[in-house]
A = this chain, B = another copy of it.
Amino acid sequence: MKKHNFSAGPCILPQEVMQKAAEAVVELDNSGLSLIEISHRSPAFIDIMERATSLALELLGLQDKGYKAMFLQGGASLQFIATAYNLLENKAGYCNTGTWSTKAIKEAKLLGDVVEVSSSKETNFNYIPKGYDIPKGLDYLHITTNNTIFGTQYKALPETDAVLVSDSSSDIFSRELDFSKFGILYAGAQKNMGPAGTTLVVVKEDVLGKVSHQIPSMLDYKIHADKESMFNTPPVFPVYTSMLNLEWLKNKGGVAAIEKENDAKAALMYGEIDRNPLFDGFAATEDRSTMNATFTLNTPELKDHFEAMAKEAGLNGINGHRSVGGYRASMYNALPIESVQVLVDVMKTLEQKA
């Protein structure tokens, strides 16, 4: 039985993408060679990297706007220190909306002055702070557009004169935003972009080159940009599969089209969480993530029964993160609404039997 894969990441990707990726591992485009045994300096792979970076910019509406897209390694976690290395000269501001922004703050503090301009830590990060003051003169302001663990998401970007930097690992390519407001946007691939092992970094080139300290080469975005993501051997398979996935998204109609699907899935999911008396949503209603719905079962004695029913129905990956408990339905781009319907049906059946 094919599972309904609600995994928070690595997560579901389109079947046709996984099929094409598998074929390329056997042989790439009738070349007589596997994707994973060709040189990254070969014309075939240079073309793959070029298509992947172009598609990323196109889908974000950032072509010809002074941005460079790069496929790097290390996950968003390496970008925590890299963004600070590239931008932090005097003082940086961070909005603390969860586990990942807390980690980003910790790394940036190794390199300079960091101001936590807002935080929802006091309520276990169940909302996105609004209406806070942003000090003048920041080198940059860092946000996390979607908080995978807590299920919150920025609906509007903060207004700031500082360079806006975002960790968008769990909602990039899922909805339209004015991406030209960002100076740096980064995202680990393993949600809506591709398999684990590469990280998209999109940089407005004019924000770079303004710090006085030296930057380790592998953390220097200018080096990676100038070398077209080929300063060292790139992660070939994750980049290729990301390219396939971005092509799939473009063929579906791009970010605007997928956003409609994601909104429909989220409406179905949150509709049931709100309707069903056995379940409670975790995140503040106005800040609910369309990607990760977090909720709890308010009748603990039904836990085993619910989880057995979920397993029986082929639902995979709905356990909540230990920081929140309960359940989390991650509804990334490739998850069909039919899978959400199966989960909703299980929740309804539980209510009827209770």
Q: Which A residues fall within an 8 A CB radius of B?
A: 1-3, 5, 7-13, 18-19, 21-23, 25-26, 31-34, 36-40, 73-78, 80-81, 103, 106-107, 110, 188, 190, 195-198, 214, 216-219, 231-238, 241, 314, 316-317
Task: Output the nearest chain B residue to A33 by Cβ-Cβ distance.
Answer: B3
Between A103, A217, A218, the greatest number of chain B beta carbons within 10 A of the residue's beta carbon is seen for: A218
Which of B106, B188, B241 meets A217, CB within 8 Å?
B106
What DSSP secondary structure best describes chain A's contact surface? loop
Report A272 CB to chain B, min CB distance, Å.
24
A-B contact sample (12 more), CB < 8 A, given A80-B218, A195-B237, A196-B235: A2-B32, A3-B31, A5-B33, A10-B38, A11-B37, A13-B37, A18-B36, A73-B75, A73-B78, A74-B78, A77-B231, A198-B235
Question: A316 to chain B: which residues have CB within 8 Å?
Answer: 32-33
Between A12, A231, A237, the greatest number of chain B beta carbons within 10 A of the residue's beta carbon is seen for: A237
Question: A19 to chain B: which residues have CB within 8 Å?
Answer: 26
Taking a contact as CB atoms under 8 Å apart, the answer to whether B22 and A77 are in contact is no
Bound Cα distance from A201 to B232, whole angstroms: 17
Which of B78, B217, B317 meets A107, CB within 8 Å?
B217
Question: A75 to chain B: which residues have CB within 8 Å?
Answer: 73, 218, 232-233
Task: Output the nearest chain B residue to A317 by Cβ-Cβ distance.
Answer: B39
Bound Cα distance from A195 to B236, whole angstroms: 8
Task: Output the nearest chain B residue to A238 by Cβ-Cβ distance.
Answer: B197
If A78-B74, A233-B10, A235-B238 touch, whether A18 touches B37 (CB-CB below 8 Å) is yes
Question: A37 to chain B: which residues have CB within 8 Å?
Answer: 5, 7, 10-13, 18
Bound Cα distance from A260 to B106, whole angstroms: 49
Taking a contact as CB atoms under 8 Å apart, the answer to whether A195 and B106 are in contact is no
Q: So how many copies of this chain end up in the complex?
A: 2
Question: A13 to chain B: which residues have CB within 8 Å?
Answer: 34, 36-37
Between A21, A197, A198, the greatest number of chain B beta carbons within 10 A of the residue's beta carbon is seen for: A197
Bound Cα distance from A218 to B110, whole angstroms: 12
Question: A80 to chain B: which residues have CB within 8 Å?
Answer: 217-218
If A73-B73, A74-B74, A236-B195 touch, whether A1 touches B39 (CB-CB below 8 Å) is no
Bound Cα distance from A107 to B216, whole angstroms: 6
If A10-B38, A37-B12, A78-B73 touch, whether A188 touches B235 (CB-CB below 8 Å) is no
Question: A1 to chain B: which residues have CB within 8 Å?
Answer: 32
Question: A34 to chain B: which residues have CB within 8 Å?
Answer: 13, 18
Task: Output the nearest chain B residue to A9 by Cβ-Cβ distance.
Answer: B233
Bound Cα distance from A190 to B40, whole angstroms: 10
Taking a contact as CB atoms under 8 Å apart, the answer to whether A73 and B235 are in contact is yes
Bound Cα distance from A312 to B218, whole angstroms: 39
Bound Cα distance from A317 to B18, whole angstroms: 28
Between A2, A216, A219, A234, the greatest number of chain B beta carbons within 10 A of the residue's beta carbon is seen for: A216
Taking a contact as CB atoms under 8 Å apart, the answer to whether B238 and A74 are in contact is no
Report A52 CB to chain B, min CB distance, Å.
14
If A196-B233, A233-B9 touch, whether A217 touches B32 (CB-CB below 8 Å) is no
Bound Cα distance from A37 to B5, whole angstroms: 8
Question: A235 to chain B: which residues have CB within 8 Å?
Answer: 73, 196-198, 235, 238
Task: Output the nearest chain B residue to A239 by Cβ-Cβ distance.
Answer: B197
Taking a contact as CB atoms under 8 Å apart, the answer to whether B32 and A196 are in contact is no
